[in-house]
């Protein structure tokens, strides 16, 4: 047997063994959700009669692309909604969100965020930063927000007033670069009900990034009109090379498709360029990949809480996304942690990440991402803006055992620099 590349401190290994034992009941719960979601996905593939012919790519206009049409049906089936728009043309989750918002909002409409300030990359899309760049604000869409309560939970009592006259009630499921709790599907269901009771015409639009397959239900099964995500996060299963999706009400999906391509053509055009097979296979493997990522997250949360750090959420809390936040406290610890994650990655493990001015962010960001697909958050990765509270956000792990090694590598890197 070849000697292991990893050299971990004996005390750290002993702690890891205890942590793994502590996590066993939580892992069993995650595996139960995985099994339910795998059954849901397999059933969708069978109901939609997926065949090898659907893996063939098209070129040019992409008229009558059977694979593209079948993939939309499969997503709508396992998400439990009327229709879906699944395309490799979406370059990121932010792009898919932008298409959805521009698809359903018109001049004079109002968008209300019910989860406070949006994720950094959405600020310029909305028009909170920058002028004259084609934002929603530039096109006459107004914006307001309902802040979360002091404990980071939704202000349910404030929703009825906040959504008066609004066209879109926007909900960000995951925590983003914050320490507030991520929203469960039950939370979203309660929020959606409050929106519809106060303003039946308002559309509930959910940023579902990092949340797919973590629970047994999705937001569109709980009152959301649209939900949006990225294929290089959960639903791509680590196989999809790019892409995103919008899922929900059929008439709204049609409007979004007109924004993605052009009015009158919508979903009827768009070649797949050989991407269909990877998107189908990624969707099939997604529940397993997501379960591995959540287990990696749980291990990290327990390990670093045992090492004395504040972690969000607790390791044994019910999960609704794949993200773990660890409050490390200093820039030096952030950098060491991310460098350790990079060393424990399968790609570019020899690279040492440093903070840089990442497009779309208002502060320097350090990112460890030794992934087979650039920027794929379902693969083990860690990133953080270099600003208070100096927390790192960890996500991904295509397999639990390799994800655990990366987490241990992060702790070891901090220990070797006298930072643990």
Write b or e for each residue in 174-213: b if 16 or more Cβ atoms lie within 10 A of its Cβ, otherwise e.
bbbbbbbbbbbbebbbbbbebbbebbeebbbbbbbbbbbb
What's the per-residue H, E or C state across 94-120?
A: HHHHHHHHHHHCCCCCEEEECCCCCCH
In a domain, 52, yes or no: no
Share of the chain above pLDDT 90, in %: 91
* CATH at 318: 3.90.1150.60
In a domain, 50, yes or no: no
Closest to 94 (Cα-Cα) out of 213, 262, 228: 228
What's the mean per-residue pLDDT of the chain? 96
Is the predicted pLDDT of residue 330 greater than 70, yes or no? yes
Q: How many CB atoms lie within 10 A of CB 95?
A: 18
* CATH at 180: 3.40.640.10
> Are residue 155 and residue 194 in the same domain, yes or no?
yes
**What are the tens digits of pLDDT across the range 139-166?**
999 999 999 999 999 999 999 999 999 9
Can you tell me the distance from the alpha carbon of 93 to that of 96, in angstroms, rounded to the nearest whole number? 5
In a domain, 179, yes or no: yes
In a domain, 145, yes or no: yes
> Are residue 168 and residue 254 in the same domain, yes or no?
yes
Least confidently predicted of 11-15, 49-53, 118-122, 332-336 = 118-122
- For residue 164, count CB atoms less than 10 angstroms from its CB and return exposed for 0-12, middle for 13-18, buried for 19 or more: exposed
Per-residue confidence band for 177, with pLDDT thresholds at 50, 70 and 90: confident
Mean local confidence (pLDDT), 40-46? 98
> Are residue 199 and residue 311 in the same domain, yes or no?
no
Residue 186: which domain range? Answer: 60-273
Query: Among 239, 273, 307, where does a domain finish?
Result: 273
In the 8-state DSSP scheme, what is residue 209? T
Taking the CA atoms of 365, 371, 373 and 379 in sequence, report the sign of the dihedral they define. Answer: negative
Can you tell me the distance from the alpha carbon of 323 to that of 228, in angstroms, rounded to the nearest whole number? 17
Residues facing residue 53 across a β-bridge: none
In a domain, 194, yes or no: yes
> Are residue 293 and residue 161 in the same domain, yes or no?
no
Residues facing residue 83 across a β-bridge: 248
Can you tell me the distance from the alpha carbon of 259 to that of 253, in angstroms, rounded to the nearest whole number? 10
> Are residue 127 and residue 175 in the same domain, yes or no?
yes
pLDDT of the residue at 314: 97
Task: Domain count for the chain, please give it.
Answer: 2
Query: Among 240, 273, 306, where does a domain finish?
Result: 273
In the 8-state DSSP scheme, what is residue 356? B
List all residues 6 or more positions away from 60 whose beta carbon is below 8 Å from its beta carbon: 271
Per-residue confidence band for 186, with pLDDT thresholds at 50, 70 and 90: very high
Can you tell me the distance from the alpha carbon of 345 to that of 358, in angstroms, rounded to the nearest whole number? 21
Per-residue confidence band for 334, with pLDDT thresholds at 50, 70 and 90: very high
Question: Nearest 5°: CA angle at 320, between 409 and 105?
Answer: 115
> Are residue 268 and residue 291 in the same domain, yes or no?
no
> Are residue 335 and residue 233 in the same domain, yes or no?
no
Can you tell me the distance from the alpha carbon of 394 to that of 301, in angstroms, rounded to the nearest whole number? 10
Please tell me the pTM assigned to this model. Answer: 0.95
Give DSSP secondary structure letters for 280-347.
HHHHHHHHHHHHHHHHHHHHHHHHHHHTT-EEES-TTSPPSSS-EEEE--SHHHHHHHHHHHHHTSSS
Can you tell me the distance from the alpha carbon of 11 to that of 329, in angstroms, rounded to the nearest whole number? 23
> Are residue 186 and residue 288 in the same domain, yes or no?
no
Query: Among 252, 273, 294, where does a domain finish?
Result: 273
In a domain, 223, yes or no: yes
User: Helix or strand or coil: residue 385?
Assistant: strand
In a domain, 278, yes or no: no
Q: Count of residues for the chain?
A: 420
> Are residue 168 and residue 23 in the same domain, yes or no?
no
Mean local confidence (pLDDT), 208-230? 98
> Are residue 79 and residue 201 in the same domain, yes or no?
yes
List all residues 6 or more positions away from 262 whose beta carbon is below 8 Å from its beta carbon: none
Can you tell me the distance from the alpha carbon of 247 to that of 14, in angstroms, rounded to the nearest whole number? 45
> Are residue 100 and residue 139 in the same domain, yes or no?
yes
pLDDT of the residue at 360: 67
Mean local confidence (pLDDT), 263-267? 97
In a domain, 329, yes or no: yes
pLDDT of the residue at 358: 77
Closest to 171 (Cα-Cα) out of 107, 135, 134, 218: 218
> Are residue 238 and residue 296 in the same domain, yes or no?
no
């Amino acid at each position: 047997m070849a000697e292991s590349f990893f050299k971990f401190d004996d005390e750290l290994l002993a702690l890891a063994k205890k942590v793994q034992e502590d996590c066993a009941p939580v892992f069993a719960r995650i595996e139960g959700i995985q099994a339910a979601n795998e059954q849901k996905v397999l059933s969708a593939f069978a109901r939609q009669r997926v065949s090898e012919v659907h893996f063939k790519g098209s070129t040019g206009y992409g008229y009558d692309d059977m694979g593209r049409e079948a993939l939309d049906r499969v997503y709508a089936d396992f998400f439990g909604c009327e229709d879906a728009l699944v395309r490799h043309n979406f370059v990121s989750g932010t792009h898919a969100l932008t298409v959805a918002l521009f698809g359903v909002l018109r001049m004079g409409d109002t968008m209300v965020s019910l989860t406070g300030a949006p994720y950094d990359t959405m600020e310029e899309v909305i028009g909170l930063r920058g002028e004259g760049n084609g934002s929603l604000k530039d096109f006459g869409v107004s914006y307001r927000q309902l802040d979360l309560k002091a404990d980071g939970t939704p202000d349910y009592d404030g929703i009825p007033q906040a959504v008066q006259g609004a066209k879109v009630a926007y909900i960000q499921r995951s925590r983003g670069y914050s320490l507030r709790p991520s929203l469960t599907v039950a939370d979203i269901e309660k929020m959606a009900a409050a929106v519809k009771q106060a303003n039946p015409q308002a559309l509930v639009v959910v940023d579902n990034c990092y949340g797919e397959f973590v629970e047994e239900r999705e937001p569109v099964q709980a009152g959301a009109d649209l939900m949006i995500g990225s294929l290089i996060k959960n639903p791509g299963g680590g196989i999809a090379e790019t892409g995103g999706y919008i899922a929900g009400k059929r008439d709204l999906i049609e409007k979004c498709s007109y924004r993605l391509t052009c009015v009158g053509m919508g979903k009827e055009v768009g070649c797949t360029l050989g991407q269909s097979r990877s998107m189908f296979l990624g969707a099939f493997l997604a529940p397993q990949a997501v379960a591995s990522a959540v287990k990696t997250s749980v291990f990290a949360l327990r390990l670093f809480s045992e090492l004395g750090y504040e972690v969000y959420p607790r390791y044994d809390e019910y999960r609704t996304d794949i993200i773990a936040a660890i409050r490390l406290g200093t820039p030096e610890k952030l950098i060491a942690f991310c460098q350790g994650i990079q060393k424990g990655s399968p790609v570019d493990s020899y690279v040492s990440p440093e903070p840089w001015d990442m497009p779309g962010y208002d502060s320097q960001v350090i990112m460890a991402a030794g992934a087979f697909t650039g920027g794929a958050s379902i693969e083990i990765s860690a990133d953080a803006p270099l600003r208070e509270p100096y927390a790192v956000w960890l996500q991904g792990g295509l397999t639990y055992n390799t994800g655990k090694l990366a987490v241990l590598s992060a702790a070891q890197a901090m220990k070797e620099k006298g930072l643990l």
